[in-house]
């Protein structure tokens, strides 16, 4: 969606991320699914690369670049794959093309070592690299990173679902390169990774940015709406500032010929409906009250009996309101 709307309302956040990256920190962007972590990550990389010299993949440094760069050259390796194997193969490929990993280290024929990296045809060497295990790949990558003079930033789209074994490989990478990644959930098993990272939460979009996004999307998609402002405010509220939710809702509306007021009122989105689950609390409270009541009867304690009775009454009336309000948080 940001292709049509641009990245809305994230300037300060992107700046903050770029600052942390410049300090050399490993960065972890957290937030629920669809909140815009990947989009923010990409914007931060764009900003960082706009200022700093870098040679992603084939792009060789142009000869007229001033040699008096105060910082070491930065190579950005951007990994989109969510599977570990795919990530490591992509990493090997990009490091190969940047001339950081030698072809022979990836078990490619010696003659490739003589070629300038830009002339290595990935299609021809792909199968050999794909056959290597993650262990082999890290075995080639780690020493190469360690020997490399410049800085390397690995941007990994998502690490939510790494396994503890893959965590070990990444921990080794962390010592040789800078890493930025996203996670929609910080799994306990991966805490050694999380400890090493500066966490930056990606918050929901502000209502203003959300409204801008809804307006831009409905214009772009040509959605016909009976009452646009009602529509905008409704989508903003239902989405809870989640751009993916806005995207989904506008896409649904685009299927209608015209969106009328009744349809607007009936629109719901999961992301905007945060269920607060009171059930366990209510069960424990209920059991305690009943228990107290029996205790009071058993001990012949009238005061306790009255107290339990009052608590039961309060519980029953409160429950009515709690369950009624428990459905939606906004």
How far apart (Å, rounded) are the C-alpha atoms in residues 20 and 180?
10
| Residue 191 burial (CB count, 10 A) | 11
Give me 167's structure tokens. 């965590």
Residue 77 pairs in a beta bridge with 154
93 binds, among ligand ATP, Mg ion, none (CB under 5 to 8 A by kind): none
Instruction: State which residue, 8 or 235, has the beta carbon closest to ligand ATP.
Output: 8
Inter-residue contact 16 to 200 (CB < 8 Å): yes
Q: If binding is defined by CB under 6 A, does position 1 make contact with ligand ATP?
A: yes
Inter-residue contact 98 to 57 (CB < 8 Å): yes
Give me 92's structure tokens. 């090997």
Instruction: State which residue, 9 or 117, has the beta carbon closest to ligand ATP.
Output: 9
Q: Which residue has the tokens 């609390």?
A: 281
Q: If binding is defined by CB under 5 A, does position 160 make contact with Mg ion?
A: no
7 binds, among Mg ion, ligand ATP, none (CB under 5 to 8 A by kind): ligand ATP
Q: Which residues contact 189 (CB under 8 A, 6 or more apart)?
A: 163, 164, 167
36 binds, among Mg ion, ligand ATP, none (CB under 5 to 8 A by kind): ligand ATP
Q: If binding is defined by CB under 6 A, does position 248 make contact with ligand ATP?
A: no
Judged by CB under 6 A, which stretch of 27-35, 93-101, 104-112, 232-240 contacts ligand ATP? 27-35
Q: If binding is defined by CB under 5 A, does position 38 make contact with Mg ion?
A: yes
Judged by CB under 6 A, which stretch of 18-26, 37-45, 91-99, 117-125 contacts ligand ATP? 37-45
Three-state secondary structure of 13-50? HHHHHHHHHHCCCCEEEECCCCCCHHHHHHHHHHHHHH
Of 14, 18, 36, 138, which lies in the binding site for ligand ATP, with binding defined by CB under 6 A? Answer: 36
* Interface map 176-205 toward ligand ATP (x if CB under 6 A): ------x-x--------------------x
Residue 155 pairs in a beta bridge with 78, 180
Q: If binding is defined by CB under 6 A, does position 272 make contact with ligand ATP?
A: no
Q: If binding is defined by CB under 6 A, does position 52 make contact with ligand ATP?
A: no
Instruction: State which residue, 214 or 289, has the beta carbon closest to ligand ATP.
Output: 214
272 binds, among Mg ion, ligand ATP, none (CB under 5 to 8 A by kind): none
Q: Which residue has the tokens 């060497």?
A: 125
Q: What number of chain residues touch ligand ATP (CB under 6 A)? A: 23
Tally DSSP H helices, then E strands, for the chain.
14, 5
Of 17, 20, 34, 106, which lies in the binding site for ligand ATP, with binding defined by CB under 6 A? Answer: 34
Angle between helices 243-254 and 228-239 (to 10 degrees): 140
How far apart (Å, rounded) are the C-alpha atoms in residues 85 and 166?
9
Q: Residue numbers of the site for ligand ATP (CB under 6 A)?
A: 1-2, 5, 7-10, 31, 33-39, 158, 182, 184, 205, 213, 243-244, 247
Q: Residue numbers of the site for Mg ion (CB under 5 A)?
A: 38
């Amino acid at each position: 969606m940001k292709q049509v709307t641009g990245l809305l309302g994230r300037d300060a956040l992107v700046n903050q991320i770029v600052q942390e990256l410049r300090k050399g920190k490993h960065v972890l962007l957290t937030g629920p699914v669809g909140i815009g972590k990947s989009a923010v990550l990409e914007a931060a990389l764009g900003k960082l690369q706009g200022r700093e010299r870098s040679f992603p993949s084939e792009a060789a440094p142009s000869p007229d670049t001033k040699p008096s760069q105060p910082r070491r050259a930065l190579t950005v390796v951007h990994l989109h794959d969510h599977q570990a194997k795919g990530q490591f193969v992509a990493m090997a490929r990009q490091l190969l093309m940047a001339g950081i990993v030698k072809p022979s280290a990836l078990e490619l024929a010696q003659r490739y070592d003589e070629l300038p990296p830009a002339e290595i045809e990935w299609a021809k060497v792909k199968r050999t690299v794909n056959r290597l295990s993650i262990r082999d790949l890290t075995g080639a990558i780690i020493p190469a990173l360690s020997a490399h003079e410049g800085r390397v930033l690995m941007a990994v789209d998502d690490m939510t679902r790494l396994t503890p074994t893959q965590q070990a490989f990444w921990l080794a990478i962390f010592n040789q390169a800078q890493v930025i990644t996203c996670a929609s959930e910080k799994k306990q098993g991966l805490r050694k990774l999380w400890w090493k990272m500066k966490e930056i939460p990606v918050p929901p979009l502000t209502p203003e940015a959300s409204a801008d996004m809804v307006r831009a999307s409905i214009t772009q998609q040509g959605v016909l709406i009976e009452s646009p402002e009602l529509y905008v405010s409704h989508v903003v509220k239902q989405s809870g500032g989640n751009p993916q939710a806005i995207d989904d809702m506008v896409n649904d509306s685009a299927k209608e010929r015209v969106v009328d007021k009744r349809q607007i009122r009936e629109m719901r989105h999961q992301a905007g409906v945060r269920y607060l689950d009171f059930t366990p609390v209510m069960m424990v409270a209920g059991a305690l009250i009943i228990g107290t009541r029996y205790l009071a009867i058993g001990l012949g304690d009238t005061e306790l009996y009255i107290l339990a009775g009052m608590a039961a009454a309060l519980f029953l009336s409160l429950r009515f309101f709690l369950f009624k309000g428990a459905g939606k948080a906004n």
